[in-house]
Amino acid sequence: MSSIADNVGTVTRRIQKATRNAGREPGSVNLLAVSKTRPASDLRAAHSAGQHAFGENYLQEALEKIDALSDLRDLEWHFIGPIQSNKTRQIAQAFDWVHSVDRLKIARRLSEQRGESAPPLNICLQVNVNEETSKAGCLLADLPALARDIMDLPNIHLRGLMAIPDPDQPDTELRASFQALADALEQLRRDNPGDSRLDTLSMGMSGDLDLAIEEGATWVRIGTAIFGARDGQ
Ligand SMILES: *Cc1c(COP(=O)(O)O)cnc(C)c1O
């Protein structure tokens, strides 16, 4: 069994290779280590191999780890799970990024509750690119208006878009989903030429990170390939 530290190295090299093969700038793709269900000691092992950014899906579990690892000063915390509106205050205060914002009400609360004393919270809008009824995320058609409203909020920065297309679809369809998200970001950038912060595409997981990088991912969210299979999978 390979260790978490070794896996961070392997995934990092895989990202570098995919970035090079896609003809993209070295360093333009960031690794988010998705640590849901993992104990704090696993995150510590990844950190010892140079990993700083961690993604969490469940608030209570995340807050416990943020507390347990508060001696590590250089960690960056990303919330990537579904957001209930009664949980926004803790999310706004404990995290650096939120990838899973999909409605204005949540964005408004995050902005209000972030407050002015902290640096603005980085957020991505989650898009339901394949319009799956069971999935979270806004529809592509609603994106332009929603993005405009969110850009007016003072204490959050809209950085880009996030999607979780079904990783079990055939590669051609998966690629089309990543392309749809990349096209939507391009359109947002054209509609808002003054906003240079729109630079983020959060897409690609353990099974499809190469494809996502070919299509322009700037954050890949990797759990299994770093920490191993989660219980129940
Ligand atoms: C769990 C999760 C991941 C990581 O998936 P792996 O297949 O384990 O790499 C990425 N993104 C989100 C939103 C997740 O919930």
**CA–centroid distance, residue 20 to ligand 1 (Å):** 24
- Verify whether ligand 1 is closer than 6 Å to residue 206 (CB atom): yes
Q: Are 201 and 218 in contact (CB under 8 A)?
A: yes
**Domain 4-227 homologous superfamily, CATH:** Alanine racemase (3.20.20.10)
Q: How far apart are CA 76 and CA 21, in angstroms?
A: 28
DSSP state of 3: -
Please indicate whether residue 135, judged by its CB atom, sits closer than 6 Å to ligand 1: no
For residues 161 and 177, what is the distance between their CA atoms, to the nearest angstrom?
Answer: 12
Residue with tokens 């999935």: 135
pLDDT at 133: 85
Take atom 11 of ligand 1 and give the residue whose Cα is closest. Answer: 221
Q: Which atom of ligand 1 is nearest to the CA of 167?
A: 7
pLDDT of 47 reads 98
Q: How confident is the model at residue 155, as a pLDDT?
A: 97
Handedness of CA 154, 89, 103, 172 (dihedral sign): positive
CA of 204 to the centre of ligand 1 (A): 9
Contacts of residue 81, defined as CB under 8 A and 6 or more positions apart, other chains included, come to 36, 56, 57, 58, 59, 100
* Number of Cβ within a 10 Å radius of residue 93: 14
Give pLDDT, residue 1.
52
Ligand 1 site, residue 224, Cβ cutoff 6 A: yes
How far apart (Å, rounded) are the C-alpha atoms in residues 199 and 216?
10
So where are the chain's domains?
4-227
pLDDT at 232: 62
Token representation of residue 161: 């878009």
Q: Cβ contacts of residue 148 below 8 Å, gap of 6+?
A: 191, 192
Give the Å distances, CA to CA, from 166 to 107, 176, 221: 25, 12, 14
CA dihedral over 159, 122, 128, 151, signed as positive or negative: negative
Q: How far apart are CA 192 and CA 208, in angstroms?
A: 30
- Beta-carbon-side half-sphere exposure of residue 150 (alpha carbons within 13 Å): 32
The single-letter code of the amino acid at 124 is C
The pLDDT tens digits along the chain (233 residues) read: 579 999 999 999 999 999 999 999 999 999 999 999 999 999 999 999 999 999 999 999 999 999 999 999 999 999 999 999 999 999 999 999 999 999 999 999 999 999 899 999 999 999 999 988 888 999 999 999 999 999 999 999 999 999 999 988 999 999 999 999 999 999 999 999 988 899 999 999 999 999 999 999 999 999 999 999 988 65
| pTM strictly above 0.85 | yes
